[in-house]
DNA sequence: CTCATTTGGTTGATGCATCAACCCGGTCGG
DNA sequence: CCGACCGGGTTGATGCATCAACCAAATGAG
């Protein structure tokens, strides 16, 4: 009905393959995490970051840098995680609360991380093999750089990310 | 704090690069679509499918096959799109309604598709270049196949997708 | 000193995604 | 026939992501 083609056929196919893979892999991993461990991918990301910190405690701000989330998403999500007992906010440094991994949160991440990683290996790392994996890694970095570049050069200064 | 490593270093790096790219590209494209045209990526996907159909009308079911969405997601989303005038549900075939692209929906997709495609080209297709793009396309298909395979072989029959 | 700005963070509203439950018209075994 | 099941579709509840607005401590220029 709209008969223009917007990418050539090979490009179109590759792009759509990529989109399909992205969706399929993401939903599969998310569902697995959810059903086996009751964690969302977001929970997982926070827990990984906290558990990799030597002290198990970070400022929300640092988590924001590590994950690249918006601050409001972070705030909302940390509140929900606190309610479930995975983390705790401690108002130790006068002003800003620190986010602390609870015993329960630590157990959760220890239980699910190796299994989750095994799945990533089975369905992604091993399927690609080392060569293609390396190519993809570099390509990913290039794309991220290109987007950063694009933002810097062609965006009006204060309007982040919309253009 | 949790000192086991779950993938080796190269694998870890490639995987995380991929995750970062996925997030960055997705949010960039989504934001662009939203701010310039008031469409979500989901809207876009539906509109593309409808506009590629010769008649501009499909059953919800066909859309489901094309997009791989859950039926309930489809239903909810189509209702929202109808409210905004992008599509219309017509109860022509006795039983199941057909989803029809409205004039407004057609205009929307015609306006945004080429610009969106150009952005995909600039930030993804051209950054990768034809060789890496081809590799990624194949790799994506392999991953999707691996997941399908996994579902078929190691899932109890009726429990789709959780394992 | 004072008032404006920035910075880190919270809140509320809205739209989106998912799950579970349900509905309804066919179909098929009995 | 009749009742069980099945496929396409809707609904409601819940959690998640984003935007815009707000808040309060710190900074800093006049």
* A145 confidence band (pLDDT: 50, 70, 90): very high
Average pLDDT, chain A: 90
Contacts of B160 (CB under 8 A, 6+ apart): B151
Determine the Cα angle at A133 with ends A127 and A135, to 5°.
Answer: 140
Which residues 4-43 of B have a C-beta within 8 angstroms of A?
Answer: 4, 6-7, 10-11, 13-15, 17-18, 20-28, 31-32, 35
**Nearest residue to B18 (alpha-carbon basis) of A161, A124, A53, A123:** A124
User: Whole-model pTM above 0.85?
Assistant: yes
- C-alpha distance from residue A33 to each of A13, A77, A116, A133, B120 (Å): 30, 17, 7, 23, 31
* Contact yes or no for B1 and A144 at CB 8 A: no
Which residues 68-97 of A have a C-beta within 8 angstroms of B?
Answer: 68
| pLDDT number for residue A24 | 94
| pLDDT number for residue A6 | 75
The total of other beta-carbon atoms located within 10 Å of residue B30's CB is 15
Q: Mind listing the pLDDT tens digit for each residue in A3-42?
A: 556 788 999 999 999 999 999 999 999 999 999 999 999 9
Strand, coil or helix: A25? helix
- d(CA B86, CA B82) in angstroms, rounded, equals 6
| pLDDT number for residue A152 | 79
Find the mean pLDDT for residues A61-70: 95
| pLDDT number for residue B153 | 78
| Residues in chain A closer than 8 A to B120 (CB atoms) | 7, 15
Determine the Cα angle at A40 with ends A136 and B74, to 5°.
Answer: 85
- d(CA B121, CA B124) in angstroms, rounded, equals 5
Nucleotides of chain C in contact with protein CB (under 7 A) are: 8-13, 15-21, 25-26
* Contact yes or no for A7 and B113 at CB 8 A: no
| pLDDT number for residue A86 | 97
Distance in Å from D18's C1' to B109's CA comes to: 23
DSSP summary character for residue B163:
-
Which residues neighbour strand D (beta carbon < 7 Å)?
A: A 40-43, 69-70, 72-73, 76-77, 80, 94-95; B 27, 30-31, 34, 59-61, 64, 71-72, 74-76, 78-79, 89, 96-97
| pLDDT number for residue B159 | 55
- C-alpha distance from residue A106 to each of A37, A86, A101, B61, B129 (Å): 13, 8, 6, 43, 43
Spatial contact of B153 and A35, defined as CB atoms under 8 Å apart: no
- What would the two tokens of residue A30 be? 């998310």
Whether B115 contacts chain A with CB within 8 A: no
- C-alpha distance from residue A124 to each of A28, A119, A141 (Å): 12, 8, 18
| pLDDT number for residue A58 | 95
**Nearest residue to B63 (alpha-carbon basis) of A82, B3, B76:** B76
| pLDDT number for residue B157 | 53
- d(CA B156, CA B21) in angstroms, rounded, equals 34
- C-alpha distance from residue B47 to each of A94, A116, B57, B99 (Å): 52, 35, 10, 11
From first to last of the 163 residues of chain B, give the pLDDT tens digit. 665 567 889 999 999 999 999 999 999 999 999 999 999 999 999 999 999 999 989 999 999 999 999 999 999 999 999 999 999 999 876 678 899 999 999 999 999 999 999 999 999 999 999 999 999 999 999 999 999 988 877 765 555 555 5
| pLDDT number for residue A4 | 58
Cα dihedral A78, A79, A81, A84 in deg (nearest 10): 170
The values of phi and psi at residue A79, to 5°, are: -60, -45
Nucleotide in closest CA–C1' contact with B95: C25
Share of chain A above pLDDT 90, in %: 80
Q: What is the largest CA-CA distance in chain A?
A: 62
How far away is chain A from the Cα of B125, in angstroms, using its nearest Cα? 7
| Residues in chain B closer than 8 A to A123 (CB atoms) | 143, 146-147, 150
- d(CA B39, CA B45) in angstroms, rounded, equals 10
């Amino acid at each position: 009905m709209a008969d223009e083609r917007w990418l050539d056929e090979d490009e179109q196919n590759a792009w759509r393959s990529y989109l399909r893979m992205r969706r399929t892999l993401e939903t599969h991993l998310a569902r697995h995490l959810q059903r086996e461990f009751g964690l969302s991918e977001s929970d997982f990301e926070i827990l990984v970051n906290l558990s990799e910190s030597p002290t198990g405690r970070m400022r929300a701000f640092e988590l924001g840098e590590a994950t690249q989330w918006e601050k409001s998403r972070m705030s909302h999500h940390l509140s929900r995680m606190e309610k479930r007992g995975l983390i705790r906010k401690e108002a130790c440094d006068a002003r800003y609360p620190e986010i602390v991994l609870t015993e329960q949160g630590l157990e959760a991440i220890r239980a699910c991380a190796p299994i989750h990683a095994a799945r990533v290996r089975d369905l992604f790392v091993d399927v690609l093999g080392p060569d293609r994996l390396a190519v993809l890694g570099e390509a990913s970095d290039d794309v991220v750089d290109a987007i950063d570049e694009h933002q810097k050069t062609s965006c009006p200064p204060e309007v982040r990310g919309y253009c």
